[in-house]
Amino acid sequence: MTVARGIRLDMKRAVAVTVVGLAGAVAALALVLQLAGSSDAIDVQLGDPDFRGIQAANLAVEISEHGPVPFPDLVGNELPIWVGHSGTDPTMGWVAVSARVPGSADCLVQWDKEAKHFINGCDPTTTWPADGTGLMHLKWTVITGELRIDVARFADGVSPGP
């Protein structure tokens, strides 16, 4: 008569399989961490790199009648800007400048409608011409009638963020 035996466990083989499995898991984890890089910085980029949705022709008319237009609180309260325009062609002549006084985190640039120039909100004796000379300029383009302002970089290549 045949006698059934239970499962035989080969202890050496079980330990070897466990060690090889753990070594493979550790190697895979090390590879994933290596590929992920060693930087602890997280670069979150939500939305478009440019401020868009502005019909250039309409805004040019508004500016010719009332002066430059402020756009507060772009890029999480770090980039208030003024947008101005000169000339009759809505595809050219745009000026987009930071509304922050250069070198100041607290003072904002204001528009003086009567004098037709920008002034320092903290020191009205400091002024800049309507073309924004002396202020940080942002790059802009007009694509199929839409004005797009690059809020990722100033025209001089400096990032507008903190």
Which one-letter DSSP state was computed for residue 110? Answer: E
Quick: pLDDT tens for 31-69: 877 777 655 555 555 556 677 888 999 999 999 999 999
Identify the pLDDT of residue 161. 46
Is the pLDDT higher at 5 or at 14? 14
Quick: pLDDT tens for 92-151: 999 999 999 998 888 999 999 999 999 999 999 999 999 999 999 999 999 999 999 988
Identify the pLDDT of residue 28. 87
Q: How far apart are CA 79 and CA 120, in angstroms?
A: 16
Identify the pLDDT of residue 53. 86
Identify the pLDDT of residue 162. 40
pTM for the model: 0.65
Structural domains of the chain sorted by starting position, each given as residue range(s) with its CATH number in brackets: 50-154 (2.102.10.10)
| DSSP result, 72-108 | EEETTTTEEEEEEE-SS-TTS-EEEEESBPTT-SS-B
Q: Is the pLDDT of residue 159 over 80?
A: no
